[in-house]
């Protein structure tokens, strides 16, 4: 079987064994996440490692990337190991629930940035493939577990960033608020101008701030929009 490799400007992603290949969602989240500090960073459900490596490219902090799917974890190890930042990235084949229990037990430092492209299509029809269902749906990691766990290990001044389908936004924000995590930053994603929102990027913190909300349109009549190109030009080869 031929290798499946996706090349970025400073790293490459092999995805031969992962059920879930690179998507625009992951790249958007990796580019949008505003943290640039040197603290502790956690990528929940890291997959092949694209978000982990995008953040490592611009941050000096130590990153923990957790991925329970064996095929995705195999690709994650290969991609991190071949990257320029492998010495400050730790990969773990844990579920998020297992990881949270370990952090609490070991009293490890809390995280300044938690980032996740979490399971989605929670209430939709499940795929026939059980492994893909677990990877894409809220089966092995529900939004409730994700929010509760993030709240426990997020630093007092830390931020928690995710991308989810727009239709789940209100529900997710309400659940997060119940755990005293406040949405301070939103980016609505439209594939084209005047189309409905498809995805939304959300940033949460333990301290409430003035909401900063914007919309990003990905395509126009000339191809990719200038805003999308500006957002991703540090990473995509073709930008």
Report yes or no: 33 and 161 within 8 Å, Cβ to Cβ. yes
**Domain enclosing residue 130, as ranges:** 5-159+169-182
For residue 62, tell me if it sits in a domain. Answer: yes
What digits encode the pLDDT tens for the residues 42-68?
A: 999 999 999 999 999 999 999 999 999
For residue 120, tell me if it sits in a domain. Answer: yes
The burial class, CB within 10 Å (0-12 / 13-18 / 19+), for 15 is buried
For residue 16, tell me if it sits in a domain. Answer: yes
For residue 81, tell me if it sits in a domain. Answer: yes
- pLDDT over threshold 90, residue 27: yes
What digits encode the pLDDT tens for the residues 144-163?
A: 999 999 999 999 999 999 99
What digits encode the pLDDT tens for the residues 75-126?
A: 999 999 999 999 999 999 999 999 998 886 566 569 999 999 986 544 444 4
For residue 78, tell me if it sits in a domain. Answer: yes
Q: Which residues contact 237 (CB under 8 A, 6 or more apart)?
A: 7, 8, 9
Share of the chain above pLDDT 90, in %: 77
For residue 132, tell me if it sits in a domain. Answer: yes
- pLDDT over threshold 50, residue 2: no
For residue 134, tell me if it sits in a domain. Answer: yes
What digits encode the pLDDT tens for the residues 173-213?
A: 999 999 999 999 999 999 999 899 999 999 999 999 999 99
For residue 227, tell me if it sits in a domain. Answer: no
The CATH number linked to 115 is: 3.40.50.150
As a whole number of angstroms, the distance between CA 212 and CA 146 comes to: 23
Question: H helices within 22-168, ranges in order?
Answer: 24-32, 50-58, 70-81, 96-106, 130-136, 143-153
Domain count across the chain: 1
The number of beta carbons lying within 10 Å of the beta carbon of residue 207 is: 10
């Amino acid at each position: 079987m031929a290798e499946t490799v996706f090349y970025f400007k400073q790293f490459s992603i092999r995805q031969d064994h992962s059920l879930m290949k690179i998507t625009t969602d992951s790249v958007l989240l990796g580019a949008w996440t505003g943290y640039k500090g040197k603290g502790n960073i956690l990528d929940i459900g890291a997959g092949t490692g694209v978000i982990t490596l995008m953040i490592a490219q611009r941050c000096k902090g130590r990153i923990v990337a957790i991925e329970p799917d064996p095929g995705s974890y195999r690709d994650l190890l290969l991609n991190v190991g071949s990257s320029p930042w492998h010495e400050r990235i730790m990969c773990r084949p844990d579920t998020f629930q297992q990881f949270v229990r370990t952090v609490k037990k070991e009293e490890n430092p809390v995280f300044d940035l938690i980032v996740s492209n979490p399971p989605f299509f929670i209430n939709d029809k499940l795929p026939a493939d059980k492994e893909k269902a677990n990877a894409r749906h809220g089966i092995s990691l529900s939004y409730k577990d994700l929010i509760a766990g993030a709240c426990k290990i997020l630093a007092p001044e830390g931020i928690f960033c995710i991308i989810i389908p727009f239709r789940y936004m209100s529900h997710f924000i309400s659940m997060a608020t119940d755990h005293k995590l406040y949405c301070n930053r939103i980016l609505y994603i439209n594939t084209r101008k005047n189309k409905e929102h498809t995805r939304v990027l959300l940033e949460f913190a333990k301290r409430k701030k003035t909401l900063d909300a914007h919309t990003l349109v990905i395509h126009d009549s000339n191809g990719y929009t200038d805003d999308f190109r500006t957002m991703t030009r540090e990473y995509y080869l073709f930008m």
